Structure formats: C-alpha cells, structure tokens
C-alpha cells in the first residue's frame, strides 16, 4: 500500500488525510503540537463562497496604514528586520490591485462552493454533528461608505451566480435578529454562506480518522527530509524517520520554514487573530455577522454561545498576546449592540491563532516542481476553514494522479518564482 505523510494537523492536514485514505493511501499525520489546537479551532467557522475577494485587494494598504497608529485597531504589523516579512510585504503591495481581485474571484468562488458541498457530505459520516447551518452571512454596516460598497458587492456576487445576495435595511435585519438591539444602517446579506463549529468538526474528524487507522504522531516536528532524485523518500518528524510515497506540507503559518526543506520559497506570513466565546446568552444572534467597519466576526453556535473574533496582527509566531487588540474587538462590537452587555474577557478566556497569509491572498495548492511527490497545501489566510474540505480533496486527487475538481493554476506553488 502506498504511504502518505501529512505534515500539519489543522483542517487542511486532517481533510487531506481523510481524502488520501479514501484514495487508498496508508496515512500518517504528524504535528509539532498535540492536535488539540491550531488556527483551525478558534476561528469563526464561516463556510463562505461570499469571500471571493482575496486579502490582497485595493484599499487594504491605505486602510492598514491608518489602523497601524491605533493600538486597538483591527490591523497591526510588528515592524522588524526580517527579510521574509519585508519581501512578503513588497509582494503583497504589488498584488493589492483590481486585477488580482478580478482574476481570482471565480477560482475562489469555485473552490468555496466545492468545499461547502464536501462539508455537507461529511455530515453523513458516523459521529459527525458540527452545528452546520445554511443561514447565510450578514455584513452589518453603519456608514454610507460601507453601504455604497455593499451595493457594489451585490452586483459582483450576482454576476458570479451567488443568488440571493442583497442589501437589507436596518429594520429588515432587526426583524431577523429580534433578541438584540442593533445600531446599524443596514446589512449585506449573502444567502449562499453557511457556518459550522470549527472545534467540533476538528475533533470529530480526528476521532474518525483514528478509528479508520490513520496514524497520528503528536509532538513530532518535521525537521528534515530525505531526497532521492526528484522524490522525497522520508520525512524526519520528532525522532522518527517516516517513509513516504507522498508528502503533504499543510503546516499553516509555519509553511515558509517547512517548504524550505523541499527547496520551495513561499511568500507567507502568519496573521494573528483572536477570539472568545460568550456562553451566557450575551449575544443571542440567529445569524453569523461581520461588523464591516469594526472588522469583527460573530458566530452563534447555539442559543447561548456566540463566538466573537477579529484583528489581523502580522507578528512573530511566538509573540505574547496583546490584550489591547482584544479590547478593540469588544469595543467595536459594543458599538453595534448598544443595549447588550458584552463583558471584557480575561486573558485565560482568549484564544488566538495564526492565519497563513500568502502575498497575493490566494492559497498554494499543488506539487513542488523539483519533487513531484511533494504537495503543498497552505496559505488560505481568512478562508482556510471554508476551503479546508476542498483543499484536502484536491490534495488527494493530485496524489492519486487524477484530474482535479477545480483548475489548480491560480494556486500554483511556484507562481512567485
């Protein structure tokens, strides 16, 4: 039986393991941690064809520079003399263009629609119940500028076939959310979106894979590979050398370092975000919501539990959390729910994770040129949960040398070379 070693136990790694096993591979999955936490746990859980605009888009640079001066703002780059960061920043600026947005809208839509369908398939696996709901996504706005932007986005979404996308008045949204008082001008509504409980899907997929005989190696950092000609034959993870017919690099924000092992240069940095769950019915919402001006994401998991998350902090992967950013999230949310009492969380109740952000906002999914049996699957930034199921499927199709469900050219691993 052919063997596959998957490096990284986030949603991309777990989904790859699942579909690789379906293709008949004997799968081992290794992680530097213990498989109980990474960016794929505390995120907002949006499964969102609505997110067809990549992170590198016009306006983000000027907005980001304005936000840099405010310690509670949703964006921050820790200035440091790091060539990887500088080089990523230069490429990011170059790609934050209307052309980058226009050429990637269809690929992002297609992979997201595929992923949504695959998550719906997962619901019929034994032991899977991850609060998946097709209630759409509301994007609240308070200003005329964002309202204008919302109308523009509706046209784009409808042109992409995302039916039901529309702008709602404040009264219409208030009727959809009768249990909270809203301070908004209106909302952009994406009927096409769904949401899920990320912690649940991660735990359930892990449990399922273990039952199916996938081997999990915790505390096993991949540090070396053995190469023979144009193939990777072994991966050293922890103290063990693992033989591999196929190697998958699904190491999220650490992928720049890991990709160097196979001579690939990935322009990628970690963008930290924070989240917290309010579990006493403080924000009894019916629908997930993005606060457009505040850049905060809210996800109701049930009647009592709502997750609040946000910020994009480009910083070292071992930097201590900054509570100012967390306060910024709570303050921003309070401005939209004037009659709700949103408590300030303590540090122990705050989760954070690092989004793997590529320099053009598009994931990397594909084989490396030099080593044909090595597949890279990372760089999903804000949409890794949404695209996780599809990414695993695509990895397995590559490994099995089948034609892929979507065209992988926009995700080429070597597109910056």
- DSSP notation for 312-372: EEE--TTPPP-HHHHHHHHHHHHHH-TTS--PPPPGGG-EEEEEEEETTS--EEEE-SS-T
Contact stretch for ligand FAD (CB under 6 A) within 33-41, 131-139, 185-193, 406-414: 33-41
The token pair at 370 is: 């030099």
Is residue 388 within 8 Å of 241, Cβ to Cβ? no
Among the listed residues 284, 353, 361, 392, the single contact to ligand FAD using CB under 6 A: 353
Instruction: Closer to ligand FAD by CB, 147 or 261: give it.
Output: 261
Among the listed residues 107, 361, 384, 392, the single contact to ligand FAD using CB under 6 A: 384
Among the listed residues 54, 64, 252, 284, the single contact to ligand FAD using CB under 6 A: 252
43 binds ligand FAD (CB under 6 A): yes
Among the listed residues 9, 54, 267, 345, the single contact to ligand FAD using CB under 6 A: 9
CB under 8 Å to 138, separation ≥6 — which residues? Answer: 168, 173, 176, 187, 188, 189, 190, 287, 288, 289, 290
Tell which residue, 308, 318, 416, has the closest CA to residue 369.
416
Is residue 299 within 8 Å of 288, Cβ to Cβ? yes
Among the listed residues 45, 64, 267, 345, the single contact to ligand FAD using CB under 6 A: 45
367 binds ligand FAD (CB under 6 A): no
Measured distance CA(15)–CA(3) in Å, rounded? 16
362 binds ligand FAD (CB under 6 A): no
Measured distance CA(318)–CA(16) in Å, rounded? 27
256 binds ligand FAD (CB under 6 A): no
Closest distance to ligand FAD from the beta carbon of 48 (Å): 6
Pairing of strands 268-278, 306-314: antiparallel
Instruction: Closer to ligand FAD by CB, 147 or 362: give it.
Output: 362
For residue 314, the number of C-alpha atoms closer than 13 Å in the C-beta half-sphere is: 24
Instruction: Closer to ligand FAD by CB, 147 or 187: give it.
Output: 187
Q: Report which secondary-structure segment, H or E, holds 140.
A: strand 137-141
251 binds ligand FAD (CB under 6 A): yes
Closest distance to ligand FAD from the beta carbon of 282 (Å): 18
267 binds ligand FAD (CB under 6 A): no
Among the listed residues 140, 216, 254, 364, the single contact to ligand FAD using CB under 6 A: 254
- DSSP notation for 297-311: EEEE-SSS-EEEEEE
Among the listed residues 221, 265, 286, 334, the single contact to ligand FAD using CB under 6 A: 221
382 binds ligand FAD (CB under 6 A): yes
Measured distance CA(333)–CA(238) in Å, rounded? 43
Region 82-111 residues binding ligand FAD, contact defined as CB under 6 A: none
49 binds ligand FAD (CB under 6 A): no
Measured distance CA(391)–CA(75) in Å, rounded? 27
* Neighbour tally for 262: CB within 10 Å: 18
| Interface ranges with ligand FAD (CB under 6 A) | 7-13, 30-33, 38-40, 43-46, 221-222, 250-254, 258, 273, 275, 297, 309, 353, 355-356, 378, 380-386
């Amino acid at each position: 039986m052919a063997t596959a070693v998957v490096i990284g136990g986030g949603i991309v790694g777990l989904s790859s393991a699942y579909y690789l096993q379906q293709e008949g591979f004997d799968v081992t999955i290794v992680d530097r941690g213990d498989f109980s936490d990474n960016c794929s746990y505390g995120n907002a859980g949006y499964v969102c064809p609505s997110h067809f605009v990549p992170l590198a888009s016009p306006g983000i640079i000027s907005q980001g520079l304005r936000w840099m001066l405010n310690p509670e703002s949703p964006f921050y780059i820790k200035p440091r003399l790091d060539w990887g960061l500088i080089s990523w920043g230069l490429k990011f600026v170059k790609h934050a263009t209307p052309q980058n947005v226009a050429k990637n809208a269809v690929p992002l839509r297609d992979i997201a629609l595929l992923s949504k369908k695959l998550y719906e398939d997962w619901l019929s696996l034994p032991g899977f119940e991850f609060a998946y709901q097709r209630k759409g996504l509301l994007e609240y706005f308070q200003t005329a500028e964002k309202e204008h932007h919302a109308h523009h986005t509706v046209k784009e979404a409808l042109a992409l076939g995302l039916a039901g996308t529309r702008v709602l008045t404040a009264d219409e949204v208030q009727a959809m959310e009768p249990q909270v008082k809203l301070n908004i001008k209106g909302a952009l509504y994406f009927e096409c979106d769904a949401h899920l409980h990320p912690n649940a899907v991660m735990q359930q997929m892990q449990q399922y894979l273990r039952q199916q005989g996938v081997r999990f190696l915790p505390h096993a950092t991949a540090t070396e590979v053995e190469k023979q000609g144009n193939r990777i034959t072994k991966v050293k993870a922890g103290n063990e050398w693992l033989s591999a017919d196929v190697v998958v690099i699904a190491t999220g924000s650490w992928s720049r370092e890991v990709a160097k092992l196979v001579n690939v240069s990935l322009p990628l940095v970690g963008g930290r975000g924070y989240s917290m769950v309010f579990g006493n019915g403080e924000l009894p919402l019916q629908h997930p919501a993005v606060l457009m001006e505040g850049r905060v994401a809210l996800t109701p998991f049930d009647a009592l539990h709502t997750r609040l998350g946000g910020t994009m902090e480009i910083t070292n992967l071992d930097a201590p959390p900054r509570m100012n950013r967390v306060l910024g999230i709570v303050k921003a949310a309070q401005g939209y729910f004037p009659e709700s009492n949103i408590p300030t969380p303590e540090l122990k109740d705050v989760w954070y994770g690092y989004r793997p952000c590529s320099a053009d906002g598009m994931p990397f999914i594909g084989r490396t040129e030099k080593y044909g049996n090595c597949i890279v699957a990372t760089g999903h930034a804000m949409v890794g949960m949404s695209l996780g199921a599809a990414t695993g499927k695509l990895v397995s199709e590559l490994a099995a040398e089948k034609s892929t469900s979507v065209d992988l050219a926009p995700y080429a691993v070597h597109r910056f070379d």
